[in-house]
Structure 1
Amino acid sequence: MSSPMLTFLGATGTVTGSRFLVEHGGERVLVDAGLYQGVKSLRERNWEAFPIDPATLRSVVLTHAHLDHCGFLPRLVRDGFDGPILCTPETAELAVIVLEDSAHLQEEDARYANQAGFSKHSPALPLYDADDVQRTRRLFVPVAFHAETEAADGVTVTLRSAGHILGSATATLEVGGSAVLFSGDLGRPRHPLVPVREDPPAADLVVVESTYGDRRHPPRSSTLADAIRRTIKRGGTVLIPAFAVDRTELVLLELGELMRTGAVPRTPVFVDSPMALAALRVYERALQDQGLPRTFGLPDLRTAASPLESEELNAPSYPCIVVSASGMASGGRVVHHLAHQLPDPRNCVVLTGYQAVGTRGRDLAEGARHVKIHGRYVPVRAEVVVDDEFSAHADADELMSWLRRMPSPPRTAFVVHGERTASVAFARRIEDELGWPAVVPQMGERVRLD
C-alpha cells in the first residue's frame, strides 16, 4: 500500500485559497475549499481546472465559514463532487449564508460587467451560481466537537474549537497510523461570543496558519472612538467595511460599549449587508448565552435590508456610522458606498482587520490616493483609519502559545495561510524557539504523512 500523502493545493505564500488534499489507499479527502482573493493573479486561480477530478473526493472537511475556506465548494459541486461536507453545525449554517451571498455577488458582478462593457470576457460569467449553492447545501453534514468521524475509508477526523468565529474548528485527521493537525484559522485567547479555543492535541504533523506570523496585535486604544468623534464633528459618515460573519458582530459590540460609556456620541448605526443580517440571526443564540441584547446595546441600531435602503446610505444627510461588507472592500454593498463617500473629506473609512494584497482595503490602508471601482478611478479624500484591534486571528505570540501546548513535538510544522514574508518569519521562529522542523510549502508540493 502506498504511503498516505498531503498535497498543498492552496494558501501557500498567500493568505487565501485554503485547500489541502489528504490521500490514502485510493481515498481522497479535502480539508477546506476556499476562494482565492486579492490580486488578479490569485483570483484567476479560482478559474483554473482543479488538479484532481472533484468526483473522486470522498469528503470535504471544513474548518469554518469564511469565504477563503469555504467559497470554492459550489465550484467543486458543479464539477462533480457529491460527497459529505463535514463541519460543525454552526459552520454549516453560516457557510450556506456566505455561499449564497458569494453566488449572488458573482452573478451581479458578471451582469454589471456585461452591461458596462468593462469585462475582457464576452459574456462575463460567474464562477458558480445560486443553483450550485443549493446543490452544495444538501451535502453539509454537521459534526459535533470531539466526535471522531469517518471522512473516508481509513481516515477519521476530530474537530475542536479554534476560537476564531462561531463554529470554527481545528481538524485532526488520523490517516495511515499518523495524525495530522490542521489549525484552520486560530482565534485569539478570548472572544466575547465564541467558545474559547482549545489546546492542540498530539499530532505527527501540524499545518498552522500564519496570517499574523510576523507581527503582534496592538494594545487596546482609542483609535475607533477618536475617528468617530472627529468625523461626527465635521458632519461626515463613518464607513466601516467589515466581514459579515463575526467581524460585524464584534464591531457592533464595541460601538455599543463606546456609546454606553459616553466615549462617543449616541449616533445612528446602520448594518448594510444582507449576509451580515442573516449571520446576525445565527449569532443571536451566542448573544443570548452571554446575556447581551440583540441590539448589542446600541441605542439606535438600524438595518438596510433592501437595495433602495442601501442606496440611501451612499450619501447620508446626517452623521452616522455604516457597517457594511465586505471587510476588504473587495465586493458587496460597501464598494458602492466607497465610490460615493471617498471623495468627501468629511467622511472616514475605518478598516478593521487584515487586508489582503490586491484588495481595495489594502490599497486604502497603504495610503492610495485613488482606487479603482467599477472600471473608474475614485479619488481618496476621506480620512482612512486602520484599527487592528478587531482581528479575530491569533498574532505571532498567540500562535506560538498555542503550538507550545502540543503534548509532544510534531515531526514537522507546515506554515501556511500567510504572505510569504509572514510565513517565513513564523517558520523561523518555530525552529528557533521550539526546535521543530518548520517548512513553508510550495504550491502543489506533496509530502508523506507516514
Structure 2
Amino acid sequence: MPEADIRRFIRFLMARIASSLSFQMLSVAVGWQIYRQTGSAFALGLVGLCQFLPMVALTLLVGHLADRFDRRRIVAICMGVEAVCAGVLALGVFTHHLSLPLIYLLIVLGGSARAFESPTMATLIPALVPRGDLARATAWSSSSNQTAQILGPALGGVVYAVSAGAAFAGSALLFLTGLLLITSLRLARRPTSRQPVTLASLFSGIHFIVRRPVIFGTISLDLFAVLLGGATALLPIFADHILKTGPWGLGLLRSAPAIGALCMSVCLARRPLAGPIGRILFGSLLLFGTATVVFALSRSIVLSLVALMVLGASDAVSVVVRTTLVQLQTPDDMLGRVSAVNMLFIGTSNQLGEFESGTTAAWFGTVPAVVIGGIGTILVSLLWMKLFPALRDIRSLEAAPTPAEADTQALKQAEAGADPTRAQAIR
C-alpha cells in the first residue's frame, strides 16, 4: 500500500476508535445514570429500543444520502451531533437538571446520528485503500472496533465512578476528536451519483442485493446465523446459576468474545486469508455454532471462556470475509445503500438474536435454548451452502468477480434458467 494511503487509513482508524470508544463509554454512563434515577430494568430496556428504532426507520434514507453526498462530511456531521448530545448530558448532570424524558430524547437523537454514521463509515474504506488491500484494511478496521468494545465499557465505568459528568464530557471530547480526524481525510474517490430521491432509488439497495446471489447470500447468512446464535443476552444467567461465578465471571464472559475477535482480526490484518474463501466463510460459521453448543454444555469457567473466545474468533473471520465481499461486489455509487441495508441486517440479527434467546430460554430453559441456537446456526450454514453455490465456491477475495462480472454471471444464469424477467432487470 502506498505511504499516502497508509497515512490516510491510520487517520481513519484513529477516528473510528475515537467514535467507538466514545459510544461505548456513553452507553455505560447512560445505563448507570438511568438505573440510578429509576432503579427500573424496563427503563434500561427502553435504551436499546431508542437506539434500534432510528436505525430501522432511517436505513433506506441513510444509504441514499451516502451515495449522493460527501461521505466524509456525513460522518463528521454525525459525530458532531453525538458530541452535542453527550455534552448536553454532561451539562445536565453537572447542573442537576437531567430528566428521564430528556435522556431518552438525546438517546434517540444520538441513535439517529449513529444510524447514519455506521454504514457511511464502512463505505469510506474502499475510497482509502486499493482493491487488493481491502481485506487487510477491513481486518484492521474490525480489530480497532473490537479494541474499543473491550476498552470502552471499562473506561466508561471507571470514569463514571469518579464523576458521572466527566464520563459524559469525556465522551463528547472523543466524538469531537473523531470529527477532527475524519474531516482531515482526503479521499481518493468520492460518490458521483446525484439521483433524485424517489421511491425506486430508496429501495434500489435492496433490489441490488436480491439480484446478486453472492451479496444476498452473504448478508442473509449473517442475519440468520447470528440471529440463532445470539447467546449474549443469557450470559448473566450462566454466570450466576450455571457457572456460579457472580459479577466477576460475567465481566470475563462478556469480554471473551471480543478478545477472541480482536486476536483473530489482528492475525487477519497481518496475514490475509488465502485458499477457498467461500468454504472458509461457511467453516467459520460452523465453528461458531459448535462453539456455541460447547459453551452451553460447559460447567467450567475456563472451558466456557475458551468456547466464547473461539466463538468471537470465528465470527471475526466471517465478518472480514462478508464485509470484504460486499465491498468488492458493490460499485461505489451503490455502496452507501447496500452498506445501509447490510448494517440493518446486522443490527436486526443482534437485537432479535437476544430476543430469540430470551424467548427460547423461557420456553425450554437456558441451556437448551443456547444449544438449539448453536445447532440452528450449523443447520443454516449447511442449508446456505446448498442454496448459494456461487458464494460457497469463491476461491479467493482477489478472485471474487467485480460488479460488472457479477452482473454478467447473473445474466447468464437468468438466461440459462429461462427467466426473461430477471434477465431484463439485470440488463
Q: Same fold (TM over 0.5)?
A: no
TM-score (norm 2): 0.23
Q: Could you say which structure has the higher strand fraction? A: 1
Report 1 or 2 for greater relative contact order, CA contacts < 8 Å, sequence distance ≥ 6: 2
Q: Could you say which structure has the higher helix fraction? A: 2
